[in-house]
Amino acid sequence: MLAKGKLLGIQFETLFEDGLYYEISNHAVEMAMMIREAFVEKTYSLGYVSKTNQQFPILPNDVLRKLSKKYSFSLWEKVDDTQSVVRFCTSWATKKENVEMLIEDIKKLE
């Protein structure tokens, strides 16, 4: 048990050296803000205002079906029979080119 604690401690120490934690966290948040802005520009409402790496647009169910063919997101809650709040979540590993691809697909939605 002690060995596992030491390994966990080493991971945290590494994350907080030289601002690494903040660097990778900022990347995740920047990617999420790009996604949020794309939904807002397309005039979709947000279920929650989030300044984090998680965004919660309210989308029509037919739009969800289209996006789910290519992207992963979580159903958060039903608003009514025709639309739902979903969660898009980014991380340190989210590639900007993938976010840009999602944004282009959001722009094409009707």
- What are the pLDDT tens digits along the chain (110 aa)? 556 777 788 887 887 788 888 888 999 999 999 999 999 999 999 999 999 999 999 999 999 999 999 999 999 999 999 999 999 999 999 999 999 999 999 999 97
- Could you give the C-alpha distances from 35 to 30, 57, 93, in angstroms and in order? 9, 10, 15
Q: For the domain 28-108, what is the CATH code? A: 3.90.1150.10
Q: What is the pLDDT of residue 2?
A: 59
Q: What is the pLDDT of residue 31?
A: 98
In 10 A of CB 102, how many CB atoms? 20
In 10 A of CB 40, how many CB atoms? 13
State the Cα angle at 11 between 10 and 14, rounded to 5°.
Answer: 85
